[in-house]
Amino acid sequence: IKAVLDEPLQAGRIKNMKTFCGRANPTTGALDWVEESEEYDYHQEIARSSYADMLHDKDRNEKYFLGIRAAVARVRARGQRAVVLDIGTGTGLLSMMAISAGADYCYAVEVFKPMAEAAQKIVQKNGFRDKIKIINKHSTEVTVGPEGDMQTRANILVTELFDTELIGEGALPSYEHAHKHLVQEGCEAVPHRATVYAQLVQSERLWSWARLLPMRVGNHELLPPPEVGLCAGAPAVCDIQLSQVPPSQFTPLSPLCTVFRVDFSQPVSSAPQWHSASFTALTTGRAQVVLSWWDIDMDPEGTITCTMAPSWTYPDSDTYPWRDHWMQCVYFLPAEVLLAEGEKVNLTVNRDDYSLWYSLRKHSQEGGDNELGVCIPRCTCQAHMVWTRPRFGELNDPHRTESYIQALRSVLRQDSVCLGVSDGSLLPALAHLLGARKVYSLESSTMSKQVIERVLEASALSGAVEVLESRPEQLTVSSVGGNQISVLFGEPYFSTSLLPWHSLYFWYCRTALAGLLHPDATVMPRSASLCMAAVEFKDLWRIRAPCGLCEGFDVSPMDEMIQRSLDFRESREAEPHPLWEYPCRALSQPREVMTFDFRLCVPEQPMKSQGSAALVRKGRCHGVALWMEYHLTDDITVSTGLTGLPSEQGTCEWSPHRKQGVYFFSSPWDSEGDGCDSVSYTLTFHPHSGDIAMEFTPTAAH
């Protein structure tokens, strides 16, 4: 800045300057200053995008193509020129479909500049440069007229502005503006309409993601604060692959209800609205959760439909079209409602311009039909801002809790002075209930500290655990009452962790606290192991697979852009994915590839591990799954990945509470599974950065 102010001629050098961004290192806890170019953010967005998934969604592409052909034919049958407006064109695929279907001209709008540039290359490569105009703007900024972006209003509106919740990407405001300013009255629209469905269910598993449940420890009970039970919860939708939640894990209390429709060929309003569906309760139960999805009709007659319904609604689940860019929604009611079989109930969906939320009212209850007074859920208890939904599920998992209770029982003594290091953890309360003399809990934020203190108060344990808000290196002997810590424990869980090994932050905390530990102090977990298995994914591989040709169009420039973005990140990295949602087969036996001993401080020098894993099952190897296992004691281990050994066929069961790491190979490869093929690995843990540099290489025997 000084150079520009003092010597304006040097301003031209600014374009070559780097940006230094301060980022909290999730593993070491340090604030790292990272040198990045101005292109870093959009390269990251491209590399992690779902464009490949969308381009591989054959069902979606075919339905759009059929709908566009039909719309162009209807316009042509009226003797009109077919002028198309494609909002959110992405790769330009739908615009090219329109021209191939006989449209005269297409205006393709894309606000994300790198994507607009890619679309321009794709359009040119396919020979549509004179028929498709790429407009790098938000659609609400597009102008019409002789000097505008569009010469005339369009009579066919093509869009793909939808997310899992349908309206979460701002579809309604975009449609509203388009009908007012960009398209003709009575235009054709592809898709023509959308229908949102909902089903009310009771599900202990899903409900455990929304509330802290009571926890019994011997003769004591750890209770959630009253305000948590009364809180409406987090406002954001819970979007998951609902196909992986089998019907055995929920009880339907209502039929599948149509809650609202949107006709995209007519003017659309983004103003708040409500829609209600009445039904008779199918059985007696506790109404807790709403399952929801939508479908889109590509034509007015509804003969071309693309549905987001989960696989278990299909007569033949093998015909289910997998996709990850659109999934299904889980909504949690503000509170449980007890329903009796045959009772008449209203399920109401409220929406604003970006989100949906549900409420339930029995016919016997007083109140009018207008539900707009039901405000969007907001967390008032702070717990939903401290704990994610998977974290609620983890805290409510009785089997996991029992493992920690057994481990704590084996290490605690009547004179134990304990320090718990994790974010929003209940282990310190458990340690007190199990007889520790003094327990301290180290929390990283004021909000987390307040939530834990409220849990202690609700369980009549105020003062039994002293909750400290401090960084580990700032803790002193006086902070812990002049005591030496005899038991240091953690889950470990930290809200900043994205990849499994980010929880090695516990090791850095243990190192920073070394001066407070008794010479014979117990550290729990005593160690952690990074584990791996070579895997074949049923569907997840699609998100990283090259597209090349898509419905007859060459979209390879998109593949090139994604690859450049991956190369820009300097090295291949593992990605976090909740593998319980993405079925896979283990082609190798799971194995520990690196172990970290928490009884010792973090070493000064890098740790290196090399080896190979033989492929013992036949299949197509797409990459490697990675997870951490925490050895609480000599005989108690908690896994954040596989919850047991793979089946004989290699089927895996994954922990739903944490994301696992996935390292995709640049190209999948086939193995006979005779143990001759293998995946070799080289791992290097760098203590100063907390990074694990990893390289996995397929090695074929022939």
pLDDT (average), residues 568-576 = 69
| Contact yes or no for 265/188 (Cβ under 8 A) | yes
CA–CA dist 176, 266 (Å, integer)? 9
Q: What is the pLDDT of residues 435-486, one digit of tens each?
A: 999 999 999 999 999 999 999 999 999 999 999 999 999 999 999 999 999 9
Beta bridge partners of 535: 586, 623
pLDDT score, position 699: 87
pLDDT at residue 568 greater than cutoff 60: no
Residues whose CB falls within 8 Å of the CB of residue 487, separated by 6 or more in sequence, listed in order = 411, 412, 416, 417, 418, 419, 431, 436, 521, 522, 524
Q: Is 35 known to be catalytic?
A: no
Is 32 inside a domain boundary? no
The mean pLDDT value for 256-277 works out to 96
Residue 1 has pLDDT above 50, yes or no: no
pLDDT of residue 364: 76
Hey, what are 85's tokens?
Answer: 């407006």
Domain count, the chain: 4
pLDDT at 702 over 70: no
Q: Which of 38-47, 375-384, 441-450, 513-522 is the least confident region?
A: 38-47
| Same domain? 302 vs 320 | yes
For residues 66 and 129, membership in a common domain is answered with: yes
Domain CATH code at residue 539: 2.70.160.11
422 found inside a domain: yes
Residues 417 and 497 placed together within one structural domain of the fold: yes
Per-residue model confidence as pLDDT tens digits over 389-401: 999 999 999 999 9
> Is residue 573 very low, low, confident or very high in pLDDT (cuts 50, 70, 90)?
confident
SS3 177: helix
Same domain, 246 and 326: yes
Give yes or no: residues 216 and 317 share one domain.
yes
Is there a single domain that holds both residue 149 and residue 202? no
Query: 448 — phi, psi (to 5°)?
Result: -65, -40
Same domain assignment for residues 154 and 249: no
Identify whether residues 578 and 514 lie together within a single domain. no
Q: pLDDT tens digits, residue range 223-243? A: 999 999 899 998 889 999 999
- Among residues of the chain, what percentage have pLDDT more than 90? 85
- Confidence label for 29 from pLDDT (cuts 50, 70 and 90): confident
Beta carbons of 118 and 558 less than 8 angstroms apart: yes
Structural domain including 634 reads 527-699
pLDDT confidence of residue 698: 92
Closest listed residue to residue 545, CA positions, set 52, 61, 58, 54:
52
- Do 229 and 340 fall within a single domain? yes
Indicate whether 240 and 156 sit together in one domain: no
Region of residue 292 (left: phi > 0; alpha: psi -120 to 50; beta: else): beta
Is 4 within a domain? no
| The pLDDT of residue 374 is above 90 | no
Nearest to 391, CA basis, from 451, 471, 460, 477: 451
Residue 438 belongs to domain with CATH number: 3.40.50.150
Beta strand pairing call for 637-639 and 183-190: unpaired
Residue 457: active-site member: no
Domain boundary among 502, 522, 542: 522
Mean pLDDT of the chain: 92
Catalytic annotation, pick one of 36, 62, 117, 169 = 169
The last residue of a domain, from among 160, 180, 215: 160
The first and second tokens of residue 388, run together, are: 């994610």
Q: What is the mean pLDDT of residues 96-115?
A: 96
Instruction: Round to whole Å and give the CA distance between 447 and 383.
Output: 8
DSSP state of 318: G
Residues 542, 488 share a domain: no
Pick the catalytic residue from 160, 336, 453, 629: 160
Specify if 203 maps to a domain.
Answer: yes
- In the structure encoding, which two tokens stand for residue 60, read together? 């979606």
SS3 percent helix, strand, coil of the chain, rounded to 5, is 25, 35, 40
Average pLDDT of span 278-296: 98
Euclidean distance between CA atoms 345 and 367, whole angstroms: 13
The pLDDT-based confidence of 42 (bands split at 50, 70, 90) is: low
Examine the pLDDT at 422 and tell me if it is beyond 50. Answer: yes
User: Is 26 within a domain?
Assistant: no
3-state secondary structure of 700: coil
Q: What is the pLDDT of residue 36?
A: 53
Residues 312 and 461 in one domain: no
Residue 602 within a domain: yes
Q: For tokens 């200053």, what's the residue?
A: 33
pLDDT in tens, 55-84: 999 999 999 999 999 999 999 999 999 999
> Residue 167 falls within a domain, yes or no?
no
| Residue 540 DSSP class | G
Question: Could you give the CA distance from residue 597 to residue 593 in angstroms, rounded to a whole number?
Answer: 14
Mean of the pLDDT values across residues 150-170?
96
Report helix angle 113-125 to 93-100, nearest 10: 30
Phi-psi region of 432 (alpha: psi -120 to 50; beta: other; left: phi over 0): alpha
Domain boundary among 499, 522, 545: 522
More confident of the two residues 563 and 199: 199
The phi and psi torsions of 329 (rounded to 5 degrees) equal: -110, 145
